[in-house]
């Protein structure tokens, strides 16, 4: 099991800006959500963004003392597997296929909430939007006015799952 974290630039440590501690907080928030709500652990993935991950992306907006977007992206196979574990249904069941987007959106929502609870001053002063989920094979997610961001790559049942927190100034 790998223990490396894939990171991007983390500029500055001003209030509302990512710090190195946020990396750990984001991973730990996600690990707890997967452990408690999906019933399966995640592990950190070695450096290098894997290809072919853009099948499904869930996003939650943050506003207040921290403004930005938290996204989680993975393959359709991973999204269906997550839904399967959450629902307690076989992966090939219609319920899992139908509810994969709902499941990933809720995971993103819980990771965002759990993350802000772990960072001083964010729990009370940062609000979350309802999740949005997009699907497809050929798109790039752009967040306007992004000043900085952090990325955490994980493995869920050997399938890559990427978390990204983009912070607006």
Partner 1 sequence: MSNIRALIVDDSSVMRKIVERCLRQAGVELATVYEASNGAEGLAVVGSNQVDLILSDINMPVMDGLEFVKNLQAAANAKGIPIVMITTEGGEAQVTQAISLGAKGYIRKPFTPDQVKQHVVPLLRVDR
Q: Which residues bind partner 1 (CB under 8 A)?
A: 32-33, 35-37, 83, 86-88, 99, 102-103, 105-106, 109-110, 112-114, 117, 123-124, 127-130
Burial call 58-82: b when 16+ CB within 10 Å, e when fewer: bbbbbeebbbbbbbbbbbeebbbbb
Q: Comparing C-alpha atoms, which of 87, 81, 107 is closest to residue 163? A: 107
Taking the complex as a whole, the smallest distance from the CB of residue 106 to partner 1 amounts, in Å, to: 4
Q: In terms of CB distance, is 100 or 148 closer to partner 1? A: 100
Taking the complex as a whole, the smallest distance from the CB of residue 149 to partner 1 amounts, in Å, to: 21
Total H helices, total E strands in the chain: 5, 7
Taking the complex as a whole, the smallest distance from the CB of residue 107 to partner 1 amounts, in Å, to: 9
Q: What does the alpha-carbon distance between residue 119 and residue 26 come to, in Å, rounded to a whole number? A: 9
CA angle 153, 15, 23 (to 5 degrees): 15
Taking the complex as a whole, the smallest distance from the CB of residue 111 to partner 1 amounts, in Å, to: 9
Q: In terms of CB distance, is 8 or 132 closer to partner 1? A: 132
Q: In terms of CB distance, is 130 or 144 closer to partner 1? A: 130
């Amino acid at each position: 099991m790998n223990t490396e974290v894939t990171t991007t630039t983390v500029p500055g440590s001003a209030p509302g800006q990512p710090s190195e501690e946020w990396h750990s907080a984001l991973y730990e928030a996600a690990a707890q959500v997967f452990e408690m709500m999906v019933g399966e652990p995640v592990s950190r993935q070695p450096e290098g963004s894997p290809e072919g991950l853009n099948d499904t992306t869930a996003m939650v907006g943050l506003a207040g003392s921290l403004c930005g977007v938290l996204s989680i992206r993975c393959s359709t196979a991973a999204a269906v597997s997550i839904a399967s574990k959450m629902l307690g249904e076989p992966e090939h069941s219609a319920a899992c296929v139908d509810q994969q987007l709902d499941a990933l959106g809720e995971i993103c929502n819980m990771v965002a909430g759990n993350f802000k609870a772990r960072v001083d001053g964010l729990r009370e002063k940062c609000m979350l939007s309802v999740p949005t989920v997009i699907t497809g094979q050929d798109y790039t997610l752009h967040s306007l006015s992004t000043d900085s961001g952090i990325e955490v790559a994980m493995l869920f049942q050997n399938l890559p799952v990427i978390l990204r927190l983009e912070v607006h100034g």
